[in-house]
Amino acid sequence: NAGVTQTPKFRILKIGQSMTLQCTQDMNHNYMYWYRQDPGMGLKLIYYSVGAGITDKGEVPNGYNVSRSTTEDFPLRLELAAPSQTSVYFCASSFGQLETQYFGPGTRLLVL
């Protein structure tokens, strides 16, 4: 099992550009999550999904969108990138709500 994979590993965006961060898991987990981690701060939940076709907002959803068309994939879309979105983005998955969350290696995003 590859676990949770994320692409790209690193990206530089100009202000106003858009991009999609990819996340795939091969553990047949129902729950998937997107977090951002800023230096010296804890992880903040952006969006989560409890199954294909079902998504909901987390703590910091503004400026982002998600979709979940399959169990395996949970892409995160950034529209009109802003410097405040410079961060490290982690995707995670779990079998259930209180189950262990397995994290991907992260995508480092720099918006200039």
Of the candidates 2, 14, 40, 62, which one interacts with other proteins according to CB under 8 A?
40
Phi, psi of 85 (to 5 degrees): -90, 5
Q: Tell me if 13 sits within 8 A of 112, measured CB to CB.
A: yes
Provide the mask over 50-89, with x wherever binding to other proteins is found by CB under 8 A and - wherever it is not. Answer: x-----x-xx------------------------------
Check binding of 90 to other proteins (CB under 8 A): yes
The site that binds other proteins (CB under 8 A) totals a number of residues, namely: 25
Sorted by sequence, the CB contacts under 8 Å of residue 103 that are 6+ apart come out as 4, 90, 91, 92
CB of 94 to other proteins, least distance (A): 10
- Rg of the Cα atoms in the chain: 13
- Around Cβ 57, how many Cβ atoms within 10 Å? 13
5 scored as a contact of other proteins (CB under 8 A): no
The residue ranges that bind other proteins (CB under 8 A) are 4, 33, 35, 40-45, 48, 50, 56, 58-59, 90, 92, 97-98, 100-106
